[in-house]
Amino acid sequence: MTRPRPVIAIDGPAGVGKSTTARVLAQRLGYTLVDTGALYRGVALAARDRGIAWDDEAAVAEVALEAALGFAPQDDGTPRLLIDGKDRADEIRTPEMSAGASQVSAYPGVRRALLEMQRDLGREGGVVLEGRDIGTVVFPDAEVKLFLTASAEERARRRVEDLQNRGTDADYDQILAKIRSRDEADSTRAIAPLRPAEDAVILDSTSLDLESVVQHVLELVQACN
Ligand code: DC
């Protein structure tokens, strides 16, 4: 291993439990957590702030270069997205920003602008990065690569449960349709499509609980020490 502590790459489709898995792992290992989807969401929000339409590819790519995106650490280990120095972590979590992030993440200029930033955040190791192309593009040399999957139905069921626990009404069919359309958009785009790296460990979490998934990754981390 070239780094003293590993880079852990967790990729997979929307709603598969990457964020929770990555957060628990980062907490247990004392590693930094990098939610790369938050950066794409940040580009979508920064474009909207500037009155730029998401279908204006050239202008959105400029935004990705000029907006100062970053993370402020949190005591509970969940970093908060900063845009131009302001905490925008809650505003990027709307269905509208999910759609915007999915759209702008297909632009090569946007992906280029965010690539070096992601590499800088993980270069030293001791980091858990979660996204869609961490194991394939951002850190093809990551010491641990996990590709999480679960059926679209199970992911929709978990999302409904999550929203209901937070006191929000949720329509299963609508959520399932959105998950399917994001899967389609993320995995069929020309650049950095969602797919497992050849050397990734593929884990189907449809019938696994969080702790089993976490234990599985901890074993992979131990194996590379
Ligand atoms: O993980 P998320 O839902 O916050 O991601 C938002 C969007 O960003 C998602 O539609 C795909 C895109 N994304 C990406 O293309 N590459 C990444 N590494 C992370 C997210």
Taking only the tens place, the pLDDT of each residue in 93-144 is 998 999 999 999 999 999 999 999 999 999 999 999 999 999 999 999 999 9
* Nearest residue to 132 (alpha-carbon basis) of 15, 4, 1: 15
The pTM of the full predicted model, rounded to 2 decimals, is 0.92
Q: Computed over its alpha carbons, how large is the radius of gyration of the chain? A: 17
Q: Domains in the chain, start-ordered, CATH in brackets?
A: 7-224 (3.40.50.300)
Q: What is the pLDDT of residues 46-75, one digit of tens each?
A: 999 999 999 999 999 999 999 999 999 877
Distance (angstroms) between ligand 1 centre and the Cα of 25 equals: 20
Cα–chain-centroid distance for residue 211? 20
- Which residue among 11, 39, 40, 117 is best mutated to probe the pocket of ligand 1, counting the most ligand atoms within 8 A of its Cβ? 40
| Helices vs. strands in the chain: H and E counts, helices first | 8, 8
Tell me what pLDDT residue 95 has. Answer: 87
Ligand 1, CB cutoff 6 Å, lining residues:
14, 36-37, 40-41, 98, 101-102, 105, 131-133, 182, 186
C-alpha distances in Å from residue 71, one per residue of 8, 80, 100: 18, 5, 20
